[in-house]
Amino acid sequence: MQSNDYENCFQIINMNNELDIFVDYLKQHNLRCTPQRNLILKIFLEMEGHVTVEDLHKKIRPEDPTIGIATLYRTMKLLIDAGLVEMHNFNDKTTYERLYMVKHHDHLICQICNKTVEFEHPLIEKYQQEVCDQHEFDLKSHRMELIGFCNECKK
Amino acid sequence: MQSNDYENCFQIINMNNELDIFVDYLKQHNLRCTPQRNLILKIFLEMEGHVTVEDLHKKIRPEDPTIGIATLYRTMKLLIDAGLVEMHNFNDKTTYERLYMVKHHDHLICQICNKTVEFEHPLIEKYQQEVCDQHEFDLKSHRMELIGFCNECKK
DNA sequence: TTATATATTGAGACCCATTATCAATATCAA
DNA sequence: TTGATATTGATAATGGGTCTCAATATATAA
Ligand SMILES: [Mn+2]
Ligand SMILES: [Mn+2]
Ligand SMILES: [Zn+2]
Ligand SMILES: [Zn+2]
């Protein structure tokens, strides 16, 4: 075990929640830890599911009415880069979803009522990797959305 | 075989190319067959792969410099509704791709150079249907994009 | 602590793909 | 040919997202 292994070890032990990871990410990239960034992450983590910037802005205003919309966009981008958040674009609407420590899943999307159902299918994931291997692609992420009518709307 | 089966049969026989389908779609929806719409479809079909509105506009100008950009957007939407075209949104760029009489495929997308590789995997398609069946979803379409580094860019 | 370099912020201007408006024109069925 | 109505292109408007910039906050070294 070499010195940077010790460091990695130390990091892993302490990286048991999103705030730690975010702070660590900021440090590693020579970015600064600010109350705005912390607050945005805190509020975001209190929200469930697929969150729009507008949702987030509304929820944050009571705690800090001065926070600017640009800072929201900037911070969400950082959270994505830090691997904590993923961005969706269902039905032409941008939403953000917690990613870290949450089981990966894909989405069924109803094109009538916009309801989404989350699922995961290990074999699909496996074959996705196979396809990438065949094409010598280094798979980093994927997007899979199954679009149709939900059980309510298909009636 | 009942009378509407005859009709269906008749339609299928005559729907052997995109123009016929488009004309039929227009008729069925009380929309009008115009030179602009026909030209847009014709030029689009002459183009390969993933086409942007800008590409299409450039290619059309020589044949009809008066055609408006709004008509392009409007017509592409009709072609999608007619089932002839599908819209993509890779790397935040909107493109259109021929759909009818072309084998279905999904995409590998390089996030460095934007190269796309087309593939299809019958088992993935099968499991997608299974997932939908389990959730009583009526699957109409899907989007699957595998994102990463292509063989060139991963070096 | 203080000083310094530099990263961050919020306001508002800006961008740009797409859509809405509207008066003139084209289509099509009668 | 006519008349109802769908379509068109020019252009204005929309809206999510980004950029700019001067004021401020943070981190680090002394
Ligand atoms: Mn989800
Ligand atoms: Mn393709
Ligand atoms: Zn539904
Ligand atoms: Zn590449």
Q: CB burial class (10 A; 0-12, 13-18, 19+) of residue B113?
A: exposed
Amino acid identity, residue B125? E
Chain B nearest CA to A9, separation (Å)? 28
Q: What angle do CA A122, A126, A129 make, to 5 degrees?
A: 145
Contact A115, B138 (CB under 8 A): no
Q: In this structure, are strands B106-110 and B138-149 parallel, antiparallel, or unpaired? A: parallel
Share of chain B above pLDDT 70, in %: 90
**CA B101 vs CA A13, B15, B85, B98, B126: distances in Å:** 55, 11, 11, 8, 20
Q: Across-strand partners of B110?
A: B148
Q: What is the pLDDT of residues A98-133, one digit of tens each?
A: 998 889 999 999 988 889 999 999 999 999 999 999
* Average pLDDT estimate for B10-36: 83
Whether A108 and B131 lie within 8 Å, measured CB to CB:
yes
In 3D space, the residue among A13, A34, A12 whose CA is nearest the CA of residue A23 turns out to be A34
* Residue of A105, A146, A154 to mutate, testing the B interface (most B Cβ within 10 Å of its Cβ): A146
Report pLDDT for A27: 96
What does the pLDDT average to over B55-68? 97
Quote the CA–CA distance of B11 and B13 in Å, as a whole number: 5
Tokens linked to A82: 């830090």
Question: In this structure, which ligand is nearest to the CA of B99?
Answer: 2
* Strand D close to B139 by CB, under 7 A: no
Average pLDDT value for residue range A151-155: 92
Nucleotides of chain C in contact with protein CB (under 7 A) are 7-12, 17-21, 26-29
Interatomic CA distance for residues B24 and B41, integer angstroms: 14
Nucleotide nearest to A31 (CA to C1'): C7
Contact B132 A154 (CB under 8 A): no
pLDDT at B96 over 70: yes
Query: Smallest CA–C1' separation from A76: which nucleotide?
Result: D17
Report residue A69 as tokens. Answer: 């919309």
Bridge partners, residue A93, by sequence: A90
Quick one: pLDDT band at residue A1, thresholds 50, 70, 90? very low
Let me know if A121 is exposed, middle or buried by CB neighbors in 10 A (0-12, 13-18, 19+).
middle
Q: Could you tell me which residues are beta bridge partners of residue A131?
A: none
B151: nearest CB among A127, A130, A136: A136
User: B36 φ, ψ to 5°?
Assistant: -60, -50
Residue B128 has pLDDT above 90, yes or no: yes
Q: What is the pLDDT of residues B72-86, one digit of tens each?
A: 999 999 999 999 999
Q: Enumerate the CATH 1.10.10.10 domain ranges in chain B, comma separated.
A: 3-98
The CATH architecture assigned to A3-98 reads Orthogonal Bundle (1.10)
pLDDT tops 70 at residue B94: yes
| Ligand 1 ion local residues (Cβ < 5 A) | A 97, 118
| A83 dihedral zone (left: phi>0; alpha: psi -120 to 50; beta) | left
Model pLDDT for residues A74-83, shown as the tens digit of each residue? 999 999 999 9
What one-character DSSP code corresponds to residue B51? Answer: B
Is strand C less than 7 A from the beta carbon of A111? Answer: no
What is the signed CA dihedral for B107, B110, B113, B116, rounded to 10 degrees? -10
Do A137 and B143 lie within an 8 Å CB cutoff?
A: no
Contact call for residues A40 and A102 (beta carbons, < 8 A): no
CB contact under 8 A, A131 and B121: yes
* B123/A119 CB distance under 8 A: no
Q: Is B143 an interface residue toward A (CB < 8 Å)?
A: yes
**Nucleotide of closest approach to B74 (CA, C1'):** C19
Residues 6+ apart with CB under 8 A from A9: A1
Class of domain A106-154: alpha beta
pLDDT, position B16: 62
- Distance, in Å, from the CA atom of B24 to the CA atom of B33, rounded to the nearest integer, reads 10
Query: Of A50-54, A110-114, B20-24, B103-107, which range is least confident?
Result: A110-114
Which residues of chain A are within 8 Å of residue B154 when distances are taken between CB atoms? 136-138
For residue A140, which residues of chain B lie inside 8 Å, CB to CB? 111, 147-149
Burial class (CB in 10 A: 0-12, 13-18, 19+), B35: exposed
Please list the residue range(s) of chain A that carry CATH number 3.30.1490.190.
Answer: 106-154
Tokens of B93: 């760029």
Work out the mean pLDDT of chain B and round it to a whole number.
90
Q: How does pLDDT run across A37-75, given as a tens digit for each residue?
A: 999 999 999 999 999 999 999 999 999 999 999 999 999
CA of B30: nearest nucleotide by C1' is: D6
Closest-CA distance, B138 to chain A, in angstroms, reads 5
Q: Look at residue A23 in the predicted model and tell me its pLDDT.
A: 96
How many beta carbons lie within 10 A of that of residue B82, not counting itself? 21
Which has the higher per-residue pLDDT, B142 or A5?
A: B142
